[in-house]
Structure 1
Amino acid sequence: MKSQSSTLLAEVRSFRQNHPDVRYVDLIALDIPGHFYGKRYPVEMLEKVAAGSPLKLPQNAVLLGAQGGLFKIGDYCFNDGDPDANRRLVPGTLKPVTWESQPLGQMLITSDGTEAPIEFEPREVLAKVLERLQHQGIHPVVAFELEFYLFDKQLENGLPQFARDPLSGDVDDQPNLHIERLSRFSDVLDDMAQTAKDQGIDITVITAEIGPGQFEINFGHCDDGLRAADWAALFCRSTRGVALKQGYRASFMAKPYLQFPGSGMHVHVSLYDAAGNNLLAAHQQQPLRHAVAGCLELLPHCMPIFSPNHNAFRRLGGTVNAATRASWGFEDRDACVRIPESDPRNLRIEHRLASADANPYLVLAAILVGLEHGLEAKREPIAPLNEDRNSGTDFPVEMLDAVRAMQQQPVLRDKLGAEFVDVYCENKRQDHLAFQQEIHAREYRWFL
């Protein structure tokens, strides 16, 4: 602990020296719906926290709904006195915020690694999964890919408007992968990429996607699963900020347009032993098949994580490369679990089902649990799509059905934690019911 405090203190002092104009630092963490919460600390107080002073925030901030409201979940929120819980600073995450009008810093905080971690905190859920795998001699290497849309900064009657081509002023209508789209939006895309790099995020490939104003950013492969998920979470925050600064809105909403493809979160995962051998490639890739089978078996029970809101279910099916059943295949983007072509050293799965607005900590935790379960159960998967285009198993496509499927799944309760599963499912159930409590104008048109 003394060594960690010394490291943190050195990090804060170095930051203050390099950024003397920064007076405040946002201490932030991701809640269950995938939003950042936290507090803004004077930088001199941050130095005291780094030296060992307590850092406490309300435990139930993790339980906030999508609109920030509190739900009664067991005894939490209304019958527990709303207690504080300890957090700690995440080393290496203190960075400048460059997209706001005033100099500012930000730093991740978490309850994992404290004396009493919050069982349902997303980062803690992932930390437990990674720790268990490490004890088994399994070391994941992870890379996220995130799709998002750019919109005009101004909404019209509350609705998003197409991003305008900066050169012509017309709606962006260039075709998929058209390199001119990257050139025309280069100012905002370059700013997003550089800002992400300033946050310590390893940004690699930028792609123009099919939808108007839709792009994809790839991250480098990382041998620290927590850091990989940190990158995905922080990228969403910085990208939205940069877009506003540049005169746009950026959104990771799963399906902003019915007529265009939704935005996904693709996750590449490979597994290695302590000597650096790819575990999936051993024994003529038999472990790969077992891992795929485990992912597919648990996938229907993880839908509230992969599709965390009503809109995310709209993304499934009906457009390009969006799966409608739990399936797998070699070099097949219609599959939920794709096996990219690679040499044995880099053999991996690409999990393609999650929406871009899903919680990256929980998405990765669910994927790793599927892989772990598959390696333990050693079952053969269903036929790949390359052999049978109709291969696949059904998964829930409506939130309440998905919650029921998740809550009673014994493997998930064991490996993700029963307390987390119960809290998460009730959070999603209450969020969904709250969403239904508003009468849309369409209902009046149809039924008045």
Structure 2
Amino acid sequence: MKSHSSTLLAEVRIFRQNHPDVRYVDLICLDIPGRFYGKRYPVEMLEKVAAGSPLKLPQNAVLLGAQGGLFKIGDYCFHDGDPDANRRLVPGTLKPVSWEAQPLGQMLITSDGTEAPIEFEPREVLAKVLERLHRKGIHPVVAFELEFYLFDRKLADGLPQFARDPLSDDPDDQPTLHIERLSRFAPVLDDMVQTAQAQGIDITVITAELGPGQFEINFGHLDDGLRAADWAALFCRSTRGVALKHGYRASFMAKPYLQHPGSGMHVHVSLYDAAGNNLLAAHQQQPLRHAVAGCLELLPHCMPIFSPNHNAFRRLGGTVNAATKACWGYEDRDACVRIPESDPRNLRIEHRLASADANPYLVLAAILVGLEHGLDAAREPIAPLNEDRDSGHDFPLEMLEAVRAMQQQPALREGLGAEFVDVYCENKRQDHLAFQQEINAREYRWYL
């Protein structure tokens, strides 16, 4: 413990030496909907926390709804006295914030690794899944890919507008899937990449996607699943900030336009043993097939995680490369679980169903539980799309049905934790009901 505190203290002191103009540091953590909450600390107080002083925040901050409010979930929030819970600093995440008006720093905090971790904190949920896999001799290597849209900074009557192309006055004149768009938006994209790299994130590939103003960013592969999810979360935060600085609005909203492709979160996962052998490639890839079968079996029960809000369900079905069933295939982007062509050393699955605004810790945890379930059950999967284009299991396409399916699944309750599943499902149910408490103009046009 002492050496751990010494490492953190050294990190804070080096940061202060390198950034003497920074007076405050945002200590941040992801809540259930995937938004950051936290506190802004004077940097000298951060040094005391690094040296061992307690760091406490309300436990129920994890339970915030999409709009920041609290819902009654069991005895939480309104019948528990709103207790504090200990958090700890995540080593290696203290970095400068370059997109704010004043010099700032930021650092991740978490309850995982404390004496009493919060069972429903997303990072703790993933940490427990990874710990269990490691005890079984399974070591995941993970890489995220995130799609997002650039919009004009100002909304028009509450609606997003295409990002203004510096080389064209016509908002519809944006070359799709064309490298020229990367050049047209180079200043903001380059700043996004450099800012992410300053956060310690390994950015690899940038792609102009099909939607107008839509892009995809790929991250490097990591043998630390927690850090891989940290990267995805931190990239969303920095990208929104950089976009505003350049006069744009960056959004990871799943389906901002009905007529254009939605934005997804693709997760590449391979599994290795302690000696570095790819477990999925053994025995003529039979473990790969078992892992796929487990993923597909649990996928319909994970929809509140993969599609965490009303808008995310709009992305599913009838659009480019967005599956309508739990299915798989080799080199097939219509599949939820795609097997990219690779050599045995790099054999992996690419899970393509989650929306870009899903919680990366929970998405990865759900995928890993599916893979684990498949390896344990050792069952053969359904036919791949390469053999049968109609192959697949149905999954829920609206939130309340999805919540019921998730809450009743025994393997998921065991793999993610029953307390987490109950809390998460009630949070999603309440959020969905709160979203419905507004009559929009269309209802008056149809029914008045």
TM above 0.5, yes or no, is yes
Do the aligned partners of 2:165 and 2:171 also contact (CA within 8 Å) in 1?
yes
Trace 1:408-447 onto structure 2 (pairs within 5 A): 408-447=408-447
Preserved CA contact (<8 Å) 1:60 1:77: yes
1:373-417 Cα shifts (integer Å, max 9, x gaps): 000000000000000000001000000000000001000111100
For residue 370 of structure 1, give the secondary structure of its aligned residue in structure 2: helix
Identity %: 91
Following the alignment from structure 2 to structure 1, what is the Cα–Cα distance between the partners of residues 129 and 82? 27
Shift of 1:171: 1.2
**Superposed counterparts of 1:294-333, under 5 Å:** 294-333=294-333
Name the Cα RMSD after superposition: 0.6
Q: Scaled by the length of structure 1, what TM-score is found?
A: 1.00
Separation in 1, partners of 2:282, 2:24: 51
Alpha-carbon contact 1:153-1:249 (below 8 Å) kept: yes
Deviations 1:215-249 (A, max 9, x none): 00000000000000000000000000000000000
Q: Report the Cα offset of residue 255 of structure 1.
A: 0.1
Contact 2:165–2:174, Cα closer than 8 Å, also in 1 = no
Matched residue, 2:288 = 288
CA displacement at 1:167 relative to structure 2: 1.9
Question: Aligned equivalents of 1:326 and 1:404: distance in 2?
Answer: 18
Q: What is the CA-CA distance between 1:368 and the residue it aligns to?
A: 0.2
Deviates more, 1:160-169 or 1:218-227: 160-169
Whether the 8 Å CA contact 2:299–2:326 is kept in 1: the answer is yes
Partner deviation per Cα, 1:27-53 (whole Å, 9 max, x = no partner):
000000000000000000000000000
Native 8 Å contact 1:164 1:172 kept in 2 = no
- Asked if structure 1 preserves the Cα contact closer than 8 Å seen for 2:117 and 2:124, the reply is yes
Structure 1 stretches of 4+ with a deviation exceeding 6 A read none
Is the Cα contact below 8 Å between 2:58 and 2:84 reproduced in 1?
yes
Checking the alignment, whether the CA contact within 8 Å between 1:172 and 1:213 is kept in structure 2 is no
1:164 offset after TM fit, Å?
Answer: 1.2
Mapped to 2, the partners of 1:47 and 1:171 lie a distance apart of 49
8 Å CA contact 1:87, 1:109 repeated in 2: yes
TM (norm. structure 2) is 1.00
SS in 1 for 2:276: coil
Retained in 1: the 8 A contact 2:176–2:212?
Answer: no
Offset at 1:341? 0.0
3-state SS in 2 of match to 1:39: strand
CA drift at 1:166: 1.2
Secondary structure at the counterpart of residue 87 of structure 1: strand
How far did residue 3 of structure 1 move? 1.0
Decide whether the 8 Å contact of 2:330 with 2:386 is kept in 1.
yes
Partner Cα separation in structure 1 for residue 65 and residue 165 of structure 2: 36
Does the aligned pair in 2 maintain the 1:141–1:221 contact within 8 Å?
yes
Distance 1:375 1:191 in 2: 42
Query: CA separation in 2, counterparts of 1:277 and 1:420?
Result: 33
SS of the residue 2:329 aligns to: strand
> Counterpart of 2:25 in 1: which secondary structure?
strand
User: Quick check: 1:122–1:362 contact (8 Å CA) kept in 2?
Assistant: yes
Following the alignment from structure 2 to structure 1, what is the Cα–Cα distance between the partners of residues 200 and 375? 33
1:172/1:232 CA distance change after superposition, 3 Å: farther
2: distance between equivalents of 1:366 and 1:290? Answer: 16
Q: Matches of 1:178 and 1:425 in 2, distance apart?
A: 40
| 1:253-284 deviation per Cα after TM superposition (whole angstroms, max 9, x unaligned) | 00000000000000000000000000000000
* Number of aligned residue pairs: 448
Contact 1:163-1:172 within 8 A present in 2 as well = no
Deviation at 1:56, TM superposition (A): 0.0
Query: Structure 1: where are the runs of 5+ without partners?
Result: none
Once residues 59 and 172 of structure 1 are traced to their aligned partners in structure 2, the CA distance between those partners, rounded to angstroms, is 46
1: CA distance, partners of 2:414 / 2:369: 10
Instruction: Please give the secondary structure, in 2, of the residue aligned with 1:101.
Output: coil
